[in-house]
Amino acid sequence: MEATSLAWLAAGLGAGLGVIGAGLGIGRLAGSAMEGMARQPQAAADIRTGMIIAAALIEGVAFFGEIVCLILAFKS
C-alpha cells in the first residue's frame, strides 16, 4: 500500500472517529441541559446560553482532528 492510499484511508477513518467523539460529548451536554431546564424552568435561559457556549467549545476540539484529516485527504 502506498503512502497516499494510506493517507486517504486514515483521513476517512479519522473523520468518522472524530465525529463519534463530538457527537457523544455534545449529546451528553444536551441531555444534561434538557434535564436541568426541565427541573427548573426559570433557569432555562441561563442553561441554554451555557449549553450553546459549551457546545461551541467541544466542537472546536472536534475540529482540530477534522483539520488533520483534511490535510491528509488532500495529500498527493
Among 13, 40, 41, 59, binds other proteins (CB under 8 A): 59
Q: Note whether 76 and 15 are within 8 A (CB).
A: no
The CA distances from residue 52 to 4, 30, 45, 62, 74, in Å, are 38, 9, 11, 15, 32
d(CA 8, CA 27) in angstroms, rounded, equals 28
Give whichever of 44 and 68 is closer to other proteins, judged by the CB atom.
68
CB 65 → other proteins: shortest distance, Å? 10
Give yes or no for residue 23 binding other proteins (CB under 8 A): no
Told to check if 35 binds other proteins by CB under 8 A, we report no
Q: Which residues bind other proteins (CB under 8 A)?
A: 52-53, 56-57, 59-61, 63-64, 66-67, 70, 73-74
